[in-house]
Amino acid sequence: MKINWSGRAHNYSSADVNYLLKIIKKADPMTQGYYLKKFQKDFSDYIGKKNVFAVSSAAAALEIISALLKIKKNEEVILPAHTYCASAIPFARNGAKLVWADINFDSRTIDLEDFKKKVTKKTRAVIIVHLYGYAVDFRNIINFCKKKKIKIIEDCAQALGAEINNNKVGTLGDFSCYSFHAQKNITTLGEGGMLFVRDQNLAKKVPGLRHNGHSNFKFKRKYYWKPAMGNVDSDIIGQWPFKFTLSEVQCGAGIRMLKKLDSLNNLRIQRARKIIDKLSNFKELKFFNPNGKRRHVYHLLSAYYKPSKKINRDDLINLLNKKYKIQSVIQYYPLYNYDLFKKNGFGTANCPNTEKFYNNMISFPFHIWMTVTEIKYLISSISKSLKILQKKR
């Protein structure tokens, strides 16, 4: 491959490595210490909200959210089927009934009108997935959800730094999660996440839920801890905790990467707009382009390829792969089509836009490590491939 689909989005600078080596050599403790507190503080300052907690992944954050909601069996959680499976699994694991919302065909994210149609008396929460780096503007359903007592969960795993009317994603709902997986806009050495909880009383439960129920003694020797389970003064009485902690060196990586986030996102936006502009004459290839608004941070670069009777998306993928050695992929298989969800009773959906987009979408390599030369080669190769396929349509 000349441009592969990499599992690694970032490289660390020499200064980053030296900073992390210092932590490896000197941090004591090596988890749940100074760098955890600093990372959380820096992240809190970045999004402008308190009650943020570093965890081992965005999926871990969703597990904690599910525990905090205490969803009863068969209470409903509405979410788009066009997302990664981790958006859904924590709620299904805890007994929720998953209800699949369709996507808006242009934005490729949840259709808010379709969501409202699928609300029932049993609906407890809606998950707004800011997929591909695009910030879903859900302000018009906030009051609707309050009246219906529906909690809003923002899945910002792919959209850190995106904005809704100058508000960072993850700051308008009741809960939000962020991902620092190796492929995301920033990473904490491959895995990691952050959780935001709006309600102060619920936020008090998170440290115990995150770390095996640990809590500090409130008297005398403050560095001792006691298991929170079973204590009458416990914040999480009646709930089993998790082990979703980050190491100090991971938090150190997060501190360094967070400083670069805006510049990295600006580079993504600049490159994405260049690619979209250069390919704009090919009407059969439709990108999502937010008309210059800084709401989309382009975690991924996906497009809809309009099929003909003779040519489809797979032909474009195969041509790029075989002739130009560029590895593209297809995302995201509708969750209701997976055996994991079908065999657990969640295989029924009415999502025509989801089907149409998935069956004809392509995601091009768009890693931050790609050079200017590779970006130019990507544009040129896609352009040449489209011209070849136009003759066959």
Residues 6+ apart with CB under 8 A from 255: 35, 38, 39, 42
Confidence of residue 232 (pLDDT cuts 50, 70, 90): very low
Higher pLDDT, 217 or 187: 187
Name the residue among 289, 316, 319 with its Cα closest to residue 301: 289
> What number of other Cβ atoms are within 10 A of residue 332's Cβ?
22
pLDDT in tens, 84-97: 999 999 999 999 99
| pLDDT of amino acid 228 | 45
The structural domains of the chain, ordered by start, are 14-254 (3.40.640.10), 260-390 (3.90.1150.10)
- Whole-model pTM? 0.95
Confidence of residue 235 (pLDDT cuts 50, 70, 90): low
Please state, in angstroms and rounded to a whole number, the distance separating the CA atoms of residues 146 and 384. Answer: 51
| pLDDT of amino acid 289 | 79
Higher pLDDT, 228 or 153: 153
pLDDT in tens, 119-138: 999 999 999 999 999 999 99
| pLDDT of amino acid 329 | 97
Name the residue among 86, 131, 245, 265 with its Cα closest to residue 186: 265
| pLDDT of amino acid 291 | 66
Q: Is the pLDDT of residue 118 over 70?
A: yes
Residue percentage of the chain with pLDDT more than 90? 89
pLDDT in tens, 3-42: 999 999 999 999 999 999 999 999 999 999 999 999 999 9
Confidence of residue 174 (pLDDT cuts 50, 70, 90): very high
| pLDDT of amino acid 201 | 93
| pLDDT of amino acid 324 | 98
User: What value does the CA radius of gyration of the chain take, rounded to a whole number of Å?
Assistant: 22
Mean pLDDT of the chain: 93
Please state, in angstroms and rounded to a whole number, the distance separating the CA atoms of residues 269 and 359. Answer: 26
* C-alpha triplet 46, 48, 53: angle, nearest 5°: 75
| pLDDT of amino acid 295 | 85
Question: What average pLDDT score do residues 340-356 get?
Answer: 97
| pLDDT of amino acid 216 | 58
| pLDDT of amino acid 240 | 87
pLDDT in tens, 279-332: 999 999 999 978 666 789 999 999 999 999 999 999 999 999 999 999 999 999
Residue percentage of the chain with pLDDT more than 70? 93
Please state, in angstroms and rounded to a whole number, the distance separating the CA atoms of residues 326 and 367. Answer: 13
Please report how the helices 248-278 and 372-390 are oriented relative to each other, as an axis angle in degrees rounded to 10.
Answer: 40
Q: Is the pLDDT of residue 77 over 50?
A: yes
